[in-house]
Structure 1
Amino acid sequence: MPKIAILQMTSGIDPEANLFAIEDAAQAAAGEGAQVLFTPEMATLLDRDRKRASASIEPGLVWELKERLTNYAMEFGIDIALGSMPVPSQEGRFANRSMYFDRNCDGPVDPVTYDKMHMFDVELSTGETWRESKAYEAGNKVVAVEDTPVGRLGLSVCYDMRFPALFEALGNRRCDAIAVPAAFTKPTGEAHWHVLLRARAIEASAFVIAAAQTGKHEDGRETYGHSLVVDPWGEVLLDMGEEPGLGFCDIDLGRIAEVRAQVPSLANRREIPN
């Protein structure tokens, strides 16, 4: 039964400080016997000032961060599922990119990557306005990491959780677990976070592992926290509340087959005509 670690962060505008927090967490998690460390969305940089942030998203700096994360995984003997980090896009904008670093990597830096598909373009009743698409290019590929300690791991990022078609695709690929790293706003988190993640786990008959940002950040935003692990039946196994720190959870992979035998929704699924 693999043990995983969840890092709940209050990431700021300094990538170096954020990276040190991930390094400390990776070392501590490995010391507790965890096989994978999951971090939130934008774990290395959370900065809504796009002009200021762009100085930290230069190709050379991004490569250095990836190299250091690869080294942490190898040195501490723990896989690192980086929720996401901003990277330059071929389209002239940025990409919100999730990365999976394998501790057994013995070659060049080459993590499995997924670019967030759905851009957070909203106007909330609180007055908050977000236009992620102004700076970020949407991804267009469904990605699953094969042969992780938690089985086949599907990748998604934050706002993706509101779009069941992505999770249907990951369910059709028979993912055992799906990572949903996030920097959820407090109003939407209070209303929708738990119910959406439980629904996605039930639909995919898979574990959902959602590492989250929390608290008040240097750039002025406030995030909801409550990093969750949900089992395939929709039961919440871990809820980290609002404090930053490390949480741990044992993943019973045998639970997946039990649930899929009881409610074989993946096997019974039909194509819906337009």
Structure 2
Amino acid sequence: MPRAALLQMTTGIDPAANAATIVAAVAEASQGGAAMLFTPEMSGLLDRRRDRAKEAIRAEADDIVLAAVRESAARHGIWIHVGSLAILREDGKWANRAFVIDDAGAIRARYDKIHMFDVDLTTGESWRESSAYAAGDTVVTVDTPLGRLGLAICYDIRFPALFEALGRAQCDIIAIPAAFTVPTGRAHWHLLQRARAVEASAYVLSASQVGRHEDGRETYGHSLAIDPWGEVLLDMGGQARGLGYAAIDLARIAEVRAQLPSLANRRAIAT
């Protein structure tokens, strides 16, 4: 039964330091018998000061974190889902982009976050992701050693149409890496993660940022692995950093879909 490793980390403002954390996790995950490692949203840089962040955001070909992860994947023979990196697009805009890298270091899939986190919370926190990042527009799936993987990022979790599309694609696993705020995490994190697993009759793997970051923000943590019935297999809590592991049982997916065939019973609804 293949094993997934989830990295819970506190990304800072120095990409080189963040790359070192991920590379160390790649080696540890490989030694721990994982077929694939999952990292959080914005694994390479987390900096709310955009004037400072722009000095570190590079095109794919020049991104030091992406290069280090690809080299490490090949060296240790393990697949990696990079939850996302801040990437400079050819048009000069930024993308919040996930990558799936195979065990030879090749990029197998890219996904640009579709839904931008533009909110004003009652705590006084205000976020305008769309003021710096361009939204993606494409649903992405890719075959991996763990099965067919569907890609989402953080705030995407609140938009059921994306997960309906991933369900139609018969994904075995959906990755939802995140840098969830503490207030929204306490209210909705576990609820939404479990609902998405049940809707798609698929595993959900959500590697998360945790704790107090160099730029002053605080993230919720609680990296999760959830099975197709909505059972929580792994919850890394709101303080720990490091790796957690979960076994992916493809027979469990078939069992749940036979018992409760909601994907097969789904009907189009006229609006």
1:253 aligns with 2:250: yes
Equivalent-residue separation in structure 1 for 2:61 and 2:102 (angstroms): 21
Change (3 A) 1:250 1:235: same
Counterpart position of 1:112: 109
Counterpart position of 1:182: 178
Counterpart position of 1:143: 140
Segments of 4+ moved more than 4 angstroms = none
Counterpart position of 1:229: 225
Counterpart position of 2:120: 123
Q: 1:136-155: per-residue Cα shift (whole Å, max 9, x none)?
A: 00000000012x12100000
Equivalent-residue separation in structure 2 for 1:247 and 1:38 (angstroms): 10
* Letter matched to residue 57 of structure 1: I
Counterpart position of 2:129: 132
Counterpart position of 2:205: 209
* Letter matched to residue 37 of structure 1: L
Q: TM-score w.r.t. structure 2 length?
A: 0.97
C-alpha displacement of 1:61:
6.9
Equivalent-residue separation in structure 1 for 2:102 and 2:28 (angstroms): 17
Q: Which secondary structure state, in structure 2, belongs to the residue aligned with residue 232 of structure 1?
A: coil
Equivalenced residue count is 270
RMSD across aligned C-alpha pairs, in angstroms? 1.2
CA contact (8 A) 1:91 1:137 kept: no
Change (3 A) 1:269 1:134: same
CA contact (8 A) 2:18 2:65 kept: no
1:272 aligns with 2:260: no
CA contact (8 A) 1:89 1:137 kept: no
Equivalent-residue separation in structure 2 for 1:237 and 1:57 (angstroms): 35
Counterpart position of 2:167: 171
* Letter matched to residue 265 of structure 1: S
C-alpha displacement of 1:251:
1.0
Unmatched 5+ residue regions in structure 2? none
Q: Which secondary structure state, in structure 2, belongs to the residue aligned with residue 161 of structure 1?
A: helix
Unmatched 5+ residue regions in structure 1? none
